[in-house]
Structure 1
């Protein structure tokens, strides 16, 4: 999730744990602790693919954060005066740190909760920015600064509201999963890898991607749709053109669970993460090889391409699609790249 959300979550958690000992300083410390795990973005692993794959790694691991919170609490108590007992202080620090990766694990990116074990958790029920989750936390943190006698209670209310919304996101995801599996059953697409994620800043409109060899199918479905049939659109997924796959490509494929597409753009061979973003706005696109003058491909360290800009003309269409208007799916992709499926496909 974004830094504002994580700071608000950390402050609210600190306020609730502190109880009657809560103060503005406690909220500020909780906000700082809530954003601390994301400081791993300052670590460079030498190339953009490694930076992407190893983000949300060691700094988001419960196996690291638990002992680190113990050390941090010990240092805090040793060098600064506090009214908290060591156990209270340790629990406050640990709660603020660990709720950060737990929340991240509900997004689509992937969070290595048990690093160094190769276990990446991505529930994919909430977008990385969702005001309906964040605003209640911001409101109660601000309100607690005005009504200081009720700080802990207000923080608890905000956490309850946001947690209920997070629970709703999981329920909504299950509804969409059932809808997708029902449509794909008894078709050639049954059993194919499926990726489902909410579209930006909501849990009503969902994006569905199905891998099918050199093709992938993409569709949108809203909880407000009258007709639950998803209008899938076929897009070319492409193939890797070189005989061998570089280690960085294998790393990216494993990280995305093979949800990537390969495309030649001019003299560059690019690989794009299909999970994050939607339609033409896929921000994680990397150049893995370039075409030499003799017609051979030369691979090197991957280079990340600049993210495409959002076209304002698509925003109203996206909003109408969220509200259940199923006549505008084709307006959200380029006609030359898309084709409608036949009944034998889906």
Structure 2
């Protein structure tokens, strides 16, 4: 999740545990601890792909954060002994461990068990979702004005947790809705990703992969029609095979579980993480190699500039979320023209 959300979650937990003893300083302590795991972004791992795939790595590992909590709690207890070591440990451990657990509900991928296993990505909540964050911020504001505001802090934590649970239930409902349609399209066994569109859990995006195409479906709980529209995008398995042996490509395939789109621009071959953002505005595209004739020249991977989001897109997404726009074509981020389909 975004830094504001993680800081608000950390502050809420700290205020609930230690607010009566530490006062307003508990919020600041919790906010700082809540953002601590994300400081790995300052580390340069040597290439754009490495930086992308190592983020949310060791600093989000339960194997690292659990023992680190013991040390940080001891240091804070020595600093402020009016709070017992046991309560400091509960405060620190809950904040540090809920950070990667919350991140794992997003699409990016969180290496909870680094250095073992694959990244965990549940895909049930967008990286920025106001309905998750606002209850936490409301509880923190209540604490600032009228400490210790225990009921407000606990209420914010309960509401945000309930919303997170709703996101998982909503994801399962959407999955059940699209499965029969994907089966009819010959994609019953295809890798499928079900995730919310930006900033909400009402409108959802479903992505299914086959070797030569990917199919996208946009559907939501406020749709006024039952028909699902499948939008196909071509894939290039030959291009993917050409670069398959490159270490950066293997790392990206592992990190994204194959949800990549390969393109060739002139002599340059790129890979785009199609999980994040929306078509046309995917934030992570990497230049991997140059192909000149029969030669493949690996490049020191670099990330291409992030496409800008047209401000007109947000009203379109709102119209599609509320059901006023029955169909949204992801290729154009617009409704289909009259008499045509996506």
1:1-346 matched pairs, under 5 angstroms: 1-18=1-18, 20-78=20-78, 80-148=79-147, 150-239=148-237, 240=240, 242=242, 245-292=245-292, 296-330=295-329, 333=332
Task: Give the deviation of 1:61 after TM superposition.
Answer: 1.1
Q: Specify the alignment match of 1:344 in structure 2.
A: none
CA distance 1:81–1:328, shift in 2 (3 Å)? closer
1:76-105 Cα offsets, whole Å, 9 max, x none, are 223x13211111111111111111111101
- SS of 1:13's partner is helix
Once residues 139 and 266 of structure 2 are traced to their aligned partners in structure 1, the CA distance between those partners, rounded to angstroms, is 52
The answer to which of 49-58 and 322-331 deviates more is 322-331
The answer to which of 324-333 and 63-72 deviates more is 324-333
Question: Contact 1:60/1:113 (CA < 8 Å) preserved in 2?
Answer: yes
CA distance 1:320–1:14, shift in 2 (3 Å)? same
Once residues 162 and 244 of structure 1 are traced to their aligned partners in structure 2, the CA distance between those partners, rounded to angstroms, is 41
Once residues 190 and 331 of structure 1 are traced to their aligned partners in structure 2, the CA distance between those partners, rounded to angstroms, is 22
Gaps of 5+ in 1: 342-346
Once residues 243 and 122 of structure 2 are traced to their aligned partners in structure 1, the CA distance between those partners, rounded to angstroms, is 34
- SS of 1:31's partner is helix
Question: Contact 1:6/1:31 (CA < 8 Å) preserved in 2?
Answer: yes
1:17-53 Cα offsets, whole Å, 9 max, x none, are 2253241111110000000000011111111111111
Normalized against structure 1, the TM-score is what? 0.92
Q: Specify the alignment match of 2:337 in structure 1.
A: none
- SS of 1:290's partner is strand
Q: Count matched residues.
A: 335
Normalized against structure 2, the TM-score is what? 0.93
Task: Give the deviation of 1:249 after TM superposition.
Answer: 0.3
Once residues 306 and 317 of structure 1 are traced to their aligned partners in structure 2, the CA distance between those partners, rounded to angstroms, is 24
The answer to which of 163-172 and 240-249 deviates more is 240-249
Gaps of 5+ in 2: 335-339
Task: Give the deviation of 1:340 after TM superposition.
Answer: 5.8
Question: Contact 2:224/2:326 (CA < 8 Å) preserved in 1?
Answer: no
- SS of 2:37's partner is helix
Over aligned residue pairs, what C-alpha RMSD do you find?
A: 1.9
- SS of 1:330's partner is coil
Task: Give the deviation of 1:164 after TM superposition.
Answer: 1.0
Once residues 234 and 31 of structure 2 are traced to their aligned partners in structure 1, the CA distance between those partners, rounded to angstroms, is 44
Once residues 116 and 259 of structure 2 are traced to their aligned partners in structure 1, the CA distance between those partners, rounded to angstroms, is 22
